[in-house]
Amino acid sequence: MWQAEHVQALLQQLGHQVSLLGMTTQGDQILDRALSKVGGKGLFVKELEVALEQGAADLAVHSLKDVPMELPPGFALACVMEREDPRDAWVSGRYGALDDLPQGAVVGTSSLRRMALLRALRPDLKIEALRGNLDTRLRKLDEGQYDGIVLAAAGLKRLGLQERIRATFDPKQMLPAAGQGALGIEVRSHRTDVIAALESLRHTPTWLAVSAERAVSRVMGGSCSMPLAAYATMDGNHLRIDAAWGDPEGVLPLVHAHAEGDVTQTEAAVHLGEQVARQLQHGVQAQTSAAG
């Protein structure tokens, strides 16, 4: 709702009349099982797409990392707004940073990506699943079920909970997920009027960066069942993208890849992302062959 209200306020400043249609998705309702076991991130967008298709809504605001890499026919990602903090945040009542944890401490996260990266950083820790909205996750931490939890910094900041952040992970240490921290706005692809209204909210550097990230995930078949990280940064027209793949079973070591180049168009950003994905695929094949 914060995200929808944020977009509503921006569009109203541009002179548009905007009302909100609040909805609860399956992803919000199923809290007792890992997303990778019940349909993945797409559970957060399906009901909203139905509302678009039926004409009940003109646009849907998503956390971009929840948006599947391939949209259904007739739908389009019309706008990606300027990115919030893309980093992961360390939240704990007792420990100021991951390095402060004693051996065997319990860390909670809902993300297979974070699980793989945490195991690489601290193989001595016990990593346990953590589902629920932010309030639920923080309550479980405060009840002592976990020694610390890892959350997206952007979500905490957007809800005014930044004081709960004890530390933020450097992206080189904990590589973010594709699209993390960015808002994406989905529409029916024939709604040129809505697409035109959203044009001024589009942030080109963020669009190019997340286009590269999502290309990595698309080629890798990225979903909640794959521990995959992809993060791109823009410096002027120069884009650098880093990615990492983790073994879902935690047996094989992390595979890393990166590429960089000058980018001004979406096609070039996507090409760099695909290049990184192919590097990852080769690395994964090499690890698998060595293990076999």
**Residues belonging to the active site:** 66
Report the length, in residues, of the chain. 292
- CB proximity list for 107: less than 8 A, separation 6 or greater: 98, 101, 118, 125, 126, 127, 128, 146, 147, 148, 149, 150
Inter-CA distances, 205 with 104, 128, 159, 269, 281, Å = 41, 35, 25, 10, 27
Tokens found for residue 97: 């940073």
Q: By the 8 A CB rule, do 233 and 239 touch?
A: yes
